[in-house]
Structure 1
Amino acid sequence: MASKFPPVQGGGSLIVAWQTKSKHILVVGGGEVAAGRILHALNADANVTVVCPVSGLNEEVAFRVAEGQVTHVDRNFEPADLDGADMVLCAIDDPEASTQVWKLCKEKRIPANIADVPPECDFYFGSVYRDGPLQVMVSTNGNGPKLASIVRKKIASTLPDNMGAAIDNVGRLRKKLREIAPRTEEGPKRMKWMSGVCESWSLDDLVEMNDADMEGLLAHYESGKIPALNEVRASQ
C-alpha cells in the first residue's frame, strides 16, 4: 500500500508564493544584502520601510530612497519600528542586535528573516529566475546559497526566451474564460480545457496568440474542443 503514495522527505521547507502586495515589509539595514532584500520586496509590490542611518546606505539603497521607492528612517532600529510590520528582513553586521530583532519579532509573531543566520529565520530567500510572470526559485534550505545560484542558472539556460510572454497570454485567456464561464461548478471543466490548450498548442503559438485568437478559441469551450491556432484563424 505504501508504494502507491509519495514517500515523506523531511527536512525541507514549505515553498510558497507569498503574496505581499500592499503589505508592510520592514528592512533593517542598508547594505548590499539589504539592497537585494528590498528589490525582492518591491518586485512583489510590497510597501517597504528601511531603517538605517543614512551613512550606512549603499548606492542602490540610497537610490531607492531618493526615488521614493521606499520609506527611509534615518537611525538605528528601535522596537517601535515593528508596529504595523507584516514581515521583517534584517541585514546588519551586528549579531547581537540581529538576535534582538529576531526575539522581538517572535514576541509579536511577525515572520522574519535574519540574513546569514538560518536558525533565526522563519523563511529563506532562494535564488530566483524571473521572466515576466514566471518565477523559478531554487532553495538549499539555507545550506548553500552559491550552489542555489548555480542550479538556478542551469535551469534558466534550458528555458525558452519567450516563456514569460506565453504565460502572459495564457493568463489573459484564463481570465477571459472565467468571464464566460464564471460558475464555481464549472471549475473542473475550465481547468481541464485550459490544460488541454497548454498541452496541445506550441509555445510559439501561445506567444503569437492575440485577442482575436482568444475569442475564436473560447468559442469552442462549450463543446470542449481545442482547435489548432491555424484552425482558429481560418474561421475568423
Structure 2
Amino acid sequence: MTDNKKEKFPKVQGGGSLILAWQIKNKTVLVVGGGEVAVGRILNLLDADAKVVVVCPSSGLSAEVRHRIDHNQVTYLDRAFEPSDLETLPPSNGPPDMVLTAVDDPAASTQIWKLCKQHRIPANIADVPPECDFYFGSVHRDGPLQIMVSTNGKGPRLAASIRKFIGKQLPPGVGDAIERIGELRAKLRKVAPDPEEGPKRMRWMIKVSDAYTWDDMSTLSDEDMDNILTFYRPNNVPDLDVLKAMRGGKTPEDIDVFDGSFGFSVGA
C-alpha cells in the first residue's frame, strides 16, 4: 500500500476493560459474605434477575442482607465458605456461574480466588483489583436504561460523581421512551416473524427511532404502536400528527392520508 493511500484506523488505547452487559438472568451467583460490602453487590445481582446464594455466618449479616434473606430474595447458607461450594450449591445443586467475595479477610479471599481459577469460574474479590475478572462500575438506572461509568478500579468515588453528572444531563422520561420502543420491537416481531425480515425490521426500527423525539416515544400508547405497525409493510413511518389523528380507530383513509412514492401527507 502506498503512503498516499494509507487508511486511518483508531489508535489502540491499552489499559482499559471490555465493558459488557452481562446477562445473568436465572444464573447462580455465589456471594461470600453478608456485610455492608455485600449489600450493593447483592442488589445489583437481584436487579439483573440472578439467583443469588449468600454464604455467611449469621453474626456477619448486615440489616439489608437480613432483609433479603427474610423476604426469600436470596438463598442463604448460615456458615463460612467451603471449597465444595464451587462444585454444588442450592437450589440448582450445580456450580455457581459467578462468585463475589465481600469478606474482611484478605487471605481467605485470595484462597477463594485461586479456587475459582481452578474451576474456571469468573470472580470478583472486593477491593483487590488484581484478583478480579471484572469490576463493578457506577451505574445510572432509568428503567431499561443503564449507563455504567468505570475507572478500571482506580477511582470509584470519582466514577460515582461522573455518573451523577451524566444522569443530570439526561432528559426526564428517557427510560419510558426506551421501554415503549422495546415494546414496539416485540410487537413488530409478531407482525413480521420470519428471519428473512430481520434486515427490514432493523432498518424500519431505525427510521421509527429517528422520526420521534424521546418525549414523543415516552407517550406512545398501545393504540399508537399498533397504528405505527400498519406502516411497516409499505416501509414508511407516519408523522406524529398523523399518528395522533388515527387515534380512536381512524385509518389513514379516514384522515385523507395517502400512500405515495413521496411518503405520507395530510390533505388540507
TM-score (norm 2): 0.85
1:4 aligns to what SS in structure 2?
coil
Kept in 2: contact 1:90–1:113 (CA 8 A): yes
Q: Distance in 1 between matches of 2:78 and 2:172?
A: 42
Aligned structure 1 segments of 4 or more residues deviating by more than 3 angstroms: 1-4
Q: Identity over aligned residues, as a percent?
A: 61
Q: Distance in 1 between matches of 2:45 and 2:178?
A: 22
Q: Distance in 1 between matches of 2:181 and 2:125?
A: 37
Following superposition, the deviation at residue 229 of structure 1 comes to 2.1
- 1:51 maps to which residue? 55
- 1:134 maps to which residue? 145
1:89 aligns to what SS in structure 2?
strand
For the pair 1:209 / 2:220, whether they are aligned, the reply is yes
Following superposition, the deviation at residue 18 of structure 1 comes to 0.7
Q: Letter of the aligned partner of 2:152 in structure 1?
A: N
Q: Letter of the aligned partner of 1:69 in structure 2?
A: Q
1:76 aligns to what SS in structure 2?
coil
- 1:108 maps to which residue? 119
Kept in 2: contact 1:177–1:218 (CA 8 A): yes
Kept in 1: contact 2:174–2:215 (CA 8 A): no
Higher relative contact order (CA 8 A, sep 6+): 1
1:14-33 counterparts in 2 under 5 A? Answer: 14-33=18-37
Deviations 1:148-186 (A, max 9, x none): 101100100011221111111000000111111122222
Kept in 2: contact 1:25–1:46 (CA 8 A): yes
Q: Distance in 2 between matches of 1:186 and 1:8?
A: 37
Kept in 2: contact 1:213–1:229 (CA 8 A): no
Following superposition, the deviation at residue 82 of structure 1 comes to 1.4
- 2:174 maps to which residue? 163
Kept in 2: contact 1:48–1:70 (CA 8 A): yes
Aligned length: 236
Following superposition, the deviation at residue 2 of structure 1 comes to 5.8
Question: Rg: which structure is higher?
Answer: 2
Structure 1 window deviating more from structure 2 (130-139 vs 8-17): it is: 8-17
Q: Distance in 2 between matches of 1:160 and 1:59?
A: 35
Kept in 2: contact 1:31–1:58 (CA 8 A): yes
- Aligned residue among 162, 185, 188 for 2:196: 185
Unaligned 5+ segments in structure 2 are 88-94, 251-268
- 1:94 maps to which residue? 105
Deviations 1:13-55 (A, max 9, x none): 1111111111100000111110110001111111111111101
Q: Distance in 1 between matches of 2:126 and 2:54?
A: 15
For the pair 1:73 / 2:84, whether they are aligned, the reply is no
- Aligned residue among 149, 157, 161 for 2:160: 149
1:187 aligns to what SS in structure 2?
helix
Following superposition, the deviation at residue 230 of structure 1 comes to 1.9
- 2:265 maps to which residue? none
Aligned CA RMSD, in angstroms, stands at 1.2
Q: Distance in 2 between matches of 1:68 and 1:182?
A: 38
2:44 aligns to what SS in structure 1?
helix
Q: Letter of the aligned partner of 1:98 in structure 2?
A: S
